[in-house]
Amino acid sequence: MSNKTDINAIAAECAGGRTVEQLRESMHRSATKREHTANTAAATAYIQSLPERKSAGTYVLPTAQEMEYAEARRAFGAMLLQREAVLKVLKGKDEFKVVFDEAQKAVVSDLLKWTINDPTSRIPLQKGLWLWGAPGTFKTELTKLLSAFSLSQKLTKAFEFVDWSVEFEKLVNDKIQIVKPNVSGNRAFDEFLKYSTELKSYGNVENPTEALVSQRYTRFIGYGWKTIIVTNAHPNEAEKLLSEQAFDRICQMCYSVEMPGKSKRRDK
């Protein structure tokens, strides 16, 4: 008998009688299982970070009131006065004041209550916003202030402000897809229907606004993320500018809020 080690015999013994093909299959299953475990752990960590569980696999933002309205009004009012001081300098008019009539005050009140989840707001708390009105009625300024307020107070509805006209031009000029941060989280999109150019890429034609609505809708029904749309366009005008599907989805995601009045840019 040879004293040399029989490598094949040792390999066969370690393999438990399995063929090379069977060993490969076993190793593949083990690797797949490890990958699945890692992915499951990552997904579980993400799910646990979401605010509130509604039902299996579905998460929504809670709607419990987070601040007393009086407290929120004081804090937001202070931010409004700060912005007024800046606008005085920009306009070169020391007498300039941000003045709302009674109808506008009611809208501002409802928007602030919606932001803090105050159930007395006339705006459904579970929906986003379609804020529209004539040019210059302080819609953009108001939305920026609400964004800064919500972020400073670390509210559940804290939202980022996005100038969609700028993002839209980037998408068309650079021929890139929807910027990922614009898809998830609570976000406000200013100048929403200012442009409607189609993007052509690799033989496909896509309207960035339509694509954004589709992706925001998926996040709304899955996680409750709120979309705030700021535009001069009346919802009826939007229906003509969007596909039937996109408009239908916006109607489900957002509640129409008119900012009444005339342009404040013409104030003397």
pLDDT in tens, 227-267: 999 999 888 888 888 899 999 999 999 999 999 987 766 65
pLDDT in tens, 95-145: 888 889 999 999 999 999 999 999 999 999 999 999 999 988 999 999 999
**Max Cα separation, the chain?**
110
> Average of pLDDT values for 6-29?
56
Give the other-Cβ count within 10 Å of 77's Cβ. Answer: 11
Q: Measured between alpha carbons, how far is residue 60 from residues 156, 187, 241 in Å?
A: 11, 15, 30
Contact yes or no for 134/262 (Cβ under 8 A): yes
Determine the angle formed by the axes of helices 164-174 and 208-223, rounding to 10 degrees.
120
pLDDT in tens, 177-212: 555 667 788 999 998 887 666 655 555 657 788 888
Which are the contacts of 194, defined by CB distance < 8 A and separation ≥ 6?
164, 165, 168, 231
Sign, CA dihedral 164-168-174-176, equals positive
- Averaged pLDDT score across all residues of the chain: 79
> Average of pLDDT values for 3-10?
52
Highest averaged pLDDT of the listed ranges 26-40, 163-177, 232-246: 232-246
Percent of the chain topping pLDDT 90: 45
Place of tokens 């609570």: 186
> Rg of the chain over CA atoms, in angstroms?
27
Determine the angle formed by the axes of helices 139-152 and 102-115, rounding to 10 degrees.
30
| Confidence at 9, pLDDT banded by 50, 70, 90 | low
Give the other-Cβ count within 10 Å of 234's Cβ. Answer: 13
Q: pTM here? A: 0.72
